[in-house]
Structure 1
């Protein structure tokens, strides 16, 4: 029986840089940081959503060859991957807090579609949307 989605992975250029960004700037916490040789399994989680983990992974071995890994990282850096959505109570207040922590936004909060949203990218280029809950 399926229990649901527990981990969603992102490709990142540098796991240490990604870890610092997600913990220090977004307020996530480390769930798992384990190594198997050169491979590092690194996941973080939002403190209010402990059943869900966000994987901060390098696309190299054991599952992806070097040429494919390079292409994946280039696509991420260009912002070509679909954005992830972080639901917030107050988009403007969350934007101000995160901006104060050094998060660089690609779109300031804007009211549209019956809500308010803003956009930012992590250091690797992964896109995020802050969306104010209706």
Structure 2
């Protein structure tokens, strides 16, 4: 069996802020934008990984989520505990320097006890974005 990562989903709360972060700050290309029923989906991806996409979706579009669950999701997103994404770069310090003025810093570049050097930011929706240095 051969499997590859094709898409992953991250919730967003503001399409314009999401575009500013993922396209303008991170440098991802926009693959598509879809609006339906007042909701907005944005698919982005790294130029270096053409076959892998991040779908930024409105949490309200998740089927079967009750109003109580929706409130819990919104609270978790606001705290940065609902969703996360791990990215990689060969130059963590330069990446951190470039992004720190454009995103909320959670952690400056740090050598972790589990063997990676990384930093962390939050996207406009509160999702945790960790960036690891590739060695």
Question: What is the TM-score normalised by the length of structure 1?
Answer: 0.86
Distance 2:72 2:9 in 1: 17
Q: Distance in 1 between matches of 2:41 and 2:83?
A: 22
4+ residue runs of structure 1 moved beyond 4 angstroms?
Answer: none
- Aligned equivalents of 1:36, 1:109: Cα separation in 2: 39
User: What is the number of equivalent residue pairs in this alignment?
Assistant: 133
Structure 2 segments unaligned to the other structure (5+ residues) = none
Distance 2:46 2:106 in 1: 22
The alignment partner of 2:60 has SS state of coil
In structure 2, the partner of 1:131 is 132
- Residue in 2 aligned with 1:70? 71
2:100 partner SS: helix
Question: Within 1, Cα distance between the matches of 2:62 and 2:115?
Answer: 44
Question: 2:25 corresponds to which residue?
Answer: 25
Deviations 1:34-58 (A, max 9, x none): 2233343311111111111111111
Counterpart CA distance in 2 for 1:89 and 1:37 is 41
* Distance in structure 1 (CA, Å) of the matches to 2:69 and 2:3: 31
Aligned to 2:40: 40
Whether the 8 Å CA contact 2:41–2:58 is kept in 1: the answer is no
Provide structure 1 residue ranges, at least 5 long, that are not aligned to the other structure. Answer: none
Q: Distance in 2 between matches of 1:65 and 1:89?
A: 42
Cα distance in 1 for partners of 2:38, 2:105 equals 33
Instruction: Confirm or deny: 8 A CA contact 1:19 1:56 kept in the other structure.
Output: no
- In the TM superposition, what are the counterparts of 1:106-125 in structure 2 within 5 Å? 106-112=106-112, 113-125=114-126
